């Protein structure tokens, strides 16, 4: 009876939007080729609805508590640089000319935190995973990356997993399209709301995301 009750009271969040119609056409490559995603990108982007997206840095360096995020200085980052050579992708986070963080991925036959895969749809990377609000469980994240003809970077993140949300079983399977333009150094500002702890939050999907103050909203 308890099992039946849990099933009846379980909740699920499933959301997989199509590629935004207003964006440029997606590129394609042959089966065994890798797409070019190299460039310098602004960490502030937009989602498929034209709203402010999660900071680009958060997909590669995450899982921190707000305090550890502040200590890492990733909240000071303005741009993400992606360098690509045969079998290696380097991703680094920069505050002006100061490198704050860096990670290296190698092309392999399987996907993990240190590797990437080349597919006809783009470069597939395992995401750092976003801290979860009010859920005792695990959310796994995969990223699909490709570059448009205007040199902007498109990132599709897919989050899948589950656990208990206030003792209620919960299942999550959501994806979202984000686009990040080439970094120009020009001032930008994105407006988010703030919760009672002083943390910036994404109001549309606040149940699954928490964004440390300064990681998205900034004037520079």
Mean pLDDT per 10-residue run, the chain (220 residues)?
Answer: 40 89 92 92 96 92 71 90 96 94 94 93 88 67 96 95 74 92 72 42 37 36
The kind and range of the H/E element at 4 are: helix 2-9
Nearest to 101, CA basis, from 124, 69, 127, 129 = 69
Residue 219: predicted pLDDT? 35
Residue 133: predicted pLDDT? 57
pTM attached to this predicted model: 0.76
Residues 41, 44: Cα–Cα separation, whole Å: 9
Task: Please check whether residue 202 is in contact with residue 43, taking contact to mean a CB–CB distance below 8 angstroms.
Answer: no
Residue 8: predicted pLDDT? 38
HSE, side-chain direction, 13 A CA sphere, residue 18: 5
Residues 92, 99: Cα–Cα separation, whole Å: 7
Residues 197, 202: Cα–Cα separation, whole Å: 14
Around Cβ 77, how many Cβ atoms within 10 Å?
25
Q: What are phi and psi of 66, to 5 degrees?
A: -55, -35
Radius of gyration of the chain (CA): 18
Token pair of 64 as six digits: 């921190």
Residue 202: predicted pLDDT? 42
Token pair of 13 as six digits: 């969040």
What is the CA angle 120-147-186, rounded to 5?
165
Nearest to 152, CA basis, from 24, 51, 29, 34 = 24
């Amino acid at each position: 009876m308890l099992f039946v009750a849990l099933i009846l009271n379980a909740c699920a969040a499933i959301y997989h939007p199509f590629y935004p119609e207003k964006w440029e056409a997606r590129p394609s490559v042959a089966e065994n080729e890798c797409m070019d995603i190299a460039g310098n990108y602004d960490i502030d982007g937009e989602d498929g609805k034209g709203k402010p997206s999660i900071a680009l840095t958060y997909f590669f360096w995450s899982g921190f508590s707000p305090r550890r995020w502040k200590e890492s200085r990733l909240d000071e980052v303005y741009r993400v640089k992606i360098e690509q050579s045969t079998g290696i992708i380097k991703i680094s986070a920069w505050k002006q000319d100061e490198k704050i963080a860096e990670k290296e991925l190698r092309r392999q036959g399987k996907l993990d935190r240190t590797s990437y895969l080349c597919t006809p749809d783009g470069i597939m990377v395992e995401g750092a995973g976003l801290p979860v609000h009010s859920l005792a469980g695990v959310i796994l994240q995969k990223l699909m990356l490709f570059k448009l003809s205007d040199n902007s970077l498109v990132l599709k993140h897919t989050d899948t997993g589950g656990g208990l949300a206030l003792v209620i079983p919960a299942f999550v399977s959501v994806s979202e399209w984000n686009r990040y333009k080439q970094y120009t150094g020009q001032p930008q500002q994105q407006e988010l709301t703030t919760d009672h702890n002083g943390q910036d939050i994404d109001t549309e999907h606040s149940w699954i995301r928490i964004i440390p103050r300064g990681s998205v909203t900034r004037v520079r």
